[in-house]
A and B are shown apart, each in its own frame.
Chain A
Amino acid sequence: DTAVSQTPKYLVTQMGNDKSIKCEQNLGHDTMYWYKQDSKKFLKIMFSYNNKELIINETVPNRFSPKSPDKAHLNLHINSLELGDSAVYFCASSPGLAGLYEQYFGPGTRLTVT
């Protein structure tokens, strides 16, 4: 009974392709996030949605587009993939805005761009 799930777990693709990563949470949380973790384990927030509305949009190339069809889902679509996009992408959720509440993380999606 996974709280935050992501699919796929691994994604290997070529430069220039478009891909999506899906995230679902069954915790009833209002807020969801996407993070990127690089090879040095540095974790950087990319986006945050609260009740399906975008509230945080860090400096991320516009090739990355989040979509939240409902409160339980936050998908990440990436256009024209580049080598530098290779990383582990984590989805997370929390009952409210970040900082006041614990975040629950998904298992991650390891994206490899060749």
Chain B
Amino acid sequence: AQSVTQLGSHVSVSEGALVLLRCNYSSSVPPYLFWYVQYPNQGLQLLLKYTTGATLVKGINGFEAEFKKSETSFHLTKPSAHMSDAAEYFCAPVGGGGADGLTFGKGTHLIIQP
């Protein structure tokens, strides 16, 4: 089964600064990869996903992520943080078969400092 590691349970950045949230997956077979965001007291919503094709994936709200097979990584970035980006972010890889349930990373809480 696939698994992910999200480095840093909490990440704090200043408003306007670069956001970098790290996700590494463990597999010899490149999986499908998703980033979800959970705003306070809400359910999760998809930010972006990588299945095949272009390795740089753009998502909603100015976020993007790059799939790097050599590093088994799928880090999430945003050039300039906004206060509204404060949320919990989850990385989720799934084996290509799709029969498994979705296994989420432990989440990274993004704090935006004014």
Residues of A participating in the B interface, judged by any CB pair closer than 8 Å: 4, 33, 40-45, 48, 55-56, 58, 90, 92, 96-100, 102-108
The secondary structure that dominates the B interface is loop
Residues of B participating in the A interface, judged by any CB pair closer than 8 Å: 31-32, 34, 38, 41-46, 49, 51, 88, 90, 94-104, 106-107, 109
Task: Please name all residues of chain A whose beta carbon is closer than 8 Å to the beta carbon of B49 when the two chains form the complex.
Answer: 102
Which residue in chain B gives the minimum CB-CB distance to A99?
Answer: B94
Q: What are 10 A-B contacts with C-beta separation under 8 Å? A: A42-B107, A43-B104, A45-B101, A48-B101, A90-B43, A96-B98, A98-B101, A99-B31, A99-B94, A105-B44
Given A41-B107, A42-B106, A99-B94, is A58 in contact with B101 using a C-beta cutoff of 8 Å?
yes
Which residue in chain A gives the minimum CB-CB distance to B46?
Answer: A102
Partner of A107, one of B42, B46, B90: B42
Task: Please name all residues of chain B whose beta carbon is closer than 8 Å to the beta carbon of A92 when the two chains form the complex.
Answer: 43-44
Task: Please name all residues of chain B whose beta carbon is closer than 8 Å to the beta carbon of A48 when the two chains form the complex.
Answer: 101
Partner of B109, one of A41, A45, A103, A108: A41
Q: How far is the CB of A41 from chain B (nearest CB, A)?
A: 5
Task: Please name all residues of chain B whose beta carbon is closer than 8 Å to the beta carbon of A104 when the two chains form the complex.
Answer: 45
Task: Please name all residues of chain B whose beta carbon is closer than 8 Å to the beta carbon of A105 when the two chains form the complex.
Answer: 43-45
